[in-house]
Amino acid sequence: MGALHEGHLTLMRAAKEATDFVIASVFVNPTQFGPNEDFDAYPRRFEEDCRKLESVGVDAVFHPQAADMYPQGFCTYVNVDGDITHKLCGAQRPIHFRGVATVVTKLFNITQADEAFFGQKDAQQVVVVCRFVQDMNLPVHINMVPIVREESGLARSSRNVYLSPEEKTAALVLSRSLRLAKDAYEKGERNAAVLKALVTKEIAGEPLAAIDYVDLFSFPALEAIETVDEKSLLALAVRIGKTRLIDNIILG
Amino acid sequence: MGALHEGHLTLMRAAKEATDFVIASVFVNPTQFGPNEDFDAYPRRFEEDCRKLESVGVDAVFHPQAADMYPQGFCTYVNVDGDITHKLCGAQRPIHFRGVATVVTKLFNITQADEAFFGQKDAQQVVVVCRFVQDMNLPVHINMVPIVREESGLARSSRNVYLSPEEKTAALVLSRSLRLAKDAYEKGERNAAVLKALVTKEIAGEPLAAIDYVDLFSFPALEAIETVDEKSLLALAVRIGKTRLIDNIILG
């Protein structure tokens, strides 16, 4: 969606290393925003984005207008109608993943990409994309690239530009709380409720933070678990002021 | 869906003429049947189908099992959510076109076909397929092949095998009523209501026939019209006993 940061550029470098022609799509996709979300406010910095993409050797940029992607009469949506879209971010953003699945299907068909690169920051999105790629038999291979963080620990996000200096400090509670859970996991804690409680308690200590969700699911199936004895996703969404931020870690 | 007849074989010959490698799919797709429809009864004659396909020079047959197409965990559907799926057959068969769009998308992705051939008999299906191919930017070209009829005028259909001899005679009212409308159109009648009434009246004269719909829309937009002054679709669905048959003509 543009407003590119080091997280995106890491995706581009991974793509550059794995393939011989890299296309970046820069498109703030209207169909994945709900009516009261930040579609209009979402940062748009196309010229700066192009300079960054060029600096990492991206071969082409696909930057359509909304009317190119959704012309008059457009009415087809790809709907991933399973549990994986109803929990975590899907619970608060009911049409979000329909918009993601629809636009990503279009991007795959337009570019005919063989390999596609998505960030772990949107881990649920990766799960959803893998699901519809498999269900629709799309001939593309999905690669997940680890989260890129600032030195402070804050996960890189285009939405970080919304944060005031005070909020940016408060936002450190996301990664700090995940690190606490990770430390506990590494010391042997396997109880999902205990790990979630560690995170919740840490965030509750930050007055500017309001929890949207803190949850722990098997990964990539996103099934409820009581004990972390397989690969699992500890994910959270937290509002810092008016800005909704997400972060996660994979355990196991 | 197999139980191949001369209509299907005409599609195969058209494909053979236009391309250098023809794949036929033979798959009775469960997701396009409603709960009270004829999925279980639908005729399955795979060996006979293969002999017929071989006789017209088809290069390969794709004959998956339902569990191959819809394995456990499958949950992605292509939904054409516009007027074009809510009228005609879509009005009585609410999930039908979602099933069609989903399976056809999968077939396109699996086969990577450049050209695809559909019969005009399912004219609304052709409209829906063209719609999602355009909306999803699928790299395939859709060809519509005219309806093939028996000498009696009855449109070829796999469901004709359900008809008793008496019902088969009664079923001639479908094509007869469309011919009446076509004659009137050719003599200058352009009023949509008058043309529809001609069809309805003719069918009402057949005691074994019960009208599901008789409708006239612009083609391929499927918009309501009062006067036939552009290309239009006169389409009907009629139950003959327990068998639901469809037929249509394109005017203009």
Q: What CATH number has the domain bearing residue A206?
A: 3.30.1300.10
Last-in-domain residue among A116, A145, A174: A145
Do B114 and B18 belong together in one domain?
A: yes
Closest listed residue to residue A80, CA positions, set B74, B85, B137, B110: B74
**pLDDT at residue A209, rounded to an integer:** 98
Q: How many CB atoms lie within 10 A of CB B183?
A: 11
Closest listed residue to residue B116, CA positions, set B147, B145, B141, B97: B141
Residue A131 tokens read as 């699901």
Per residue, the 3-state secondary structure of B20-76, as one string, reads CCCEEECCCCHHHCCCCCCCCCCCCCHHHHHHHHHHCCCCEEECCCHHHHCCCCCCE
Do B141 and B23 belong together in one domain?
A: yes
Q: 């205990």: which residue's tokens?
A: A194
Q: At A105, which helix (H) or strand (E)? A: helix A96-111
* Tens digit of each residue's pLDDT (9 = 90 or more) over B28-62: 999 999 999 999 999 999 999 999 999 999 999 99
Q: Taking CB atoms and an 8 Å limit, are B139 and A80 in contact across chains?
A: no
Terminal-residue alpha carbon distance, chain B: 31
B18: helix, coil or strand? helix
DSSP strands (E only) in A72-207: 76-80, 115-119, 141-145
Last-in-domain residue among B145, B175, B197: B145
**pLDDT at residue A202, rounded to an integer:** 98
Do A141 and A200 belong together in one domain?
A: no
**pLDDT at residue B195, rounded to an integer:** 98
Residue A85 tokens read as 């879209």
Q: How many CB atoms lie within 10 A of CB B115?
A: 13
Nearest-10 Cα torsion for A143, A144, A150, A152: -160
Last-in-domain residue among A112, A145, A178: A145
Residues of chain B in contact with residue A76, where contact means CB-CB under 8 angstroms, are 78-81, 101, 131-132, 135-136
Do A135 and A30 belong together in one domain?
A: yes
In a domain, A152, yes or no: no
**CATH code for the domain in which residue B63 is found:** 3.40.50.620
* Sign of torsion over alpha carbons A215, A220, A222, A225: negative
In a domain, A72, yes or no: yes
The shortest C-alpha distance from A222 to chain B (Å) reads 12
Residue B236 tokens read as 């009907």
CB B208 within 8 A of CB B60: no
In a domain, A76, yes or no: yes
Do A21 and A100 belong together in one domain?
A: yes
Q: How far is residue B200's CA from residue B234's CA, in Å, rounded to a whole number?
A: 12
Q: What is the mean pLDDT of residues B222-235?
A: 97
In a domain, B68, yes or no: yes
Please count the CA atoms within 13 angstroms of the CA of B88 that sit on its side-chain side: 29
In a domain, B172, yes or no: yes
Full pLDDT tens readout for chain A, 252 residues: 999 999 999 999 999 999 999 999 999 999 999 999 999 999 999 999 999 999 999 999 999 999 999 999 999 999 999 999 999 999 999 999 999 999 999 999 999 999 999 999 999 999 999 999 999 999 999 999 999 999 999 999 999 999 999 999 999 999 999 999 999 999 999 999 999 999 999 999 999 999 999 999 999 999 999 999 999 999 999 999 999 999 999 999
A40 to chain B, any CB pair closer than 8 A? The answer is no
Do A81 and A174 belong together in one domain?
A: no
Q: 């239009």: which residue's tokens?
A: B232
Do A24 and A64 belong together in one domain?
A: yes
Residue B227 tokens read as 């006067």
Residue A197 tokens read as 């409680």
Q: Taking CB atoms and an 8 Å limit, are A74 and B135 in contact across chains?
A: yes
Do A78 and A180 belong together in one domain?
A: no
**pLDDT at residue A111, rounded to an integer:** 97
In a domain, B154, yes or no: no
Q: Which residue segment(s) compose the domain that A199 sits in?
A: 160-251
Q: Taking CB atoms and an 8 Å limit, are A82 and B75 in contact across chains?
A: yes
Q: Are strands B209-218 and B141-145 parallel, antiparallel or unpaired?
A: unpaired
Q: How far is residue B194's CA from residue B177's CA, in Å, rounded to a whole number?
A: 13
**Which of A75, A106, A112 is the closest to B82 by Cβ?**
A75
In a domain, A153, yes or no: no
* Tens digit of each residue's pLDDT (9 = 90 or more) over B97-133: 999 999 999 999 999 999 999 999 999 999 999 999 9
Q: What is the mean pLDDT of chain B?
A: 97
The shortest C-alpha distance from B107 to chain A (Å) reads 8
ipTM (interface pTM): 0.95
Q: At B212, which helix (H) or strand (E)? A: strand B209-218
Long-range contacts of B95-99 (CB under 8 A, 24+ apart): B95/B31, B95/B32, B95/B34, B96/B32, B96/B33, B96/B34, B97/B32, B97/B124, B97/B125, B97/B128, B98/B31, B98/B32, B99/B29, B99/B30, B99/B31, B99/B32, B99/B33
Do B136 and B247 belong together in one domain?
A: no
* Tens digit of each residue's pLDDT (9 = 90 or more) over A9-55: 999 999 999 999 999 999 999 999 999 999 999 999 999 999 999 99
One-letter amino acid for residue B243 of the chain = T
Residues of chain A in contact with residue B73, where contact means CB-CB under 8 angstroms, are 82, 131
DSSP strands (E only) in chain A: 23-25, 60-62, 76-80, 115-119, 141-145, 209-218, 232-240, 243-251
In a domain, A155, yes or no: no
Tell whether residue B68 is among the known ligand binding residues: no
Q: 């709380």: which residue's tokens?
A: A177
Q: 């870690």: which residue's tokens?
A: A249
Residues of chain B in contact with residue A137, where contact means CB-CB under 8 angstroms, are 106, 109-110
Do B15 and B115 belong together in one domain?
A: yes
Enter the pTM of the model. Answer: 0.96
Residue B169 tokens read as 């005679």
The per-residue b/e assignment along A65-91, b for 16 or more CB within 10 angstroms, e otherwise, is eeeebbeeebbbbbbbebebbebbbbe
Work out the burial of residue A20: count CB atoms within 10 Å of its CB; fewer than 13 is exposed, 13-18 middle, 19 or more buried: exposed
B110 to chain A, any CB pair closer than 8 A? The answer is yes
Do A132 and A171 belong together in one domain?
A: no
Q: How far is residue A13's CA from residue A18's CA, in Å, rounded to a whole number?
A: 9
Do A24 and A139 belong together in one domain?
A: yes
* Tens digit of each residue's pLDDT (9 = 90 or more) over B147-206: 999 999 999 999 999 999 999 999 999 999 999 999 999 999 999 999 999 999 999 999
Is B86 among the residues known to form the active site?
no
The per-residue b/e assignment along B119-138, b for 16 or more CB within 10 angstroms, e otherwise, is bbbbbbbbbbbbbbbebbeb
What is the number of domains present in chain A? 2
DSSP string, B82-147: SGGGTSTHHHH-TTHHHHHHHHHHHHHHHHT-SEEEEEGGGHHHHHHHHHHHHHTT-S-EEEEE--
Q: At A51, which helix (H) or strand (E)? A: helix A46-55
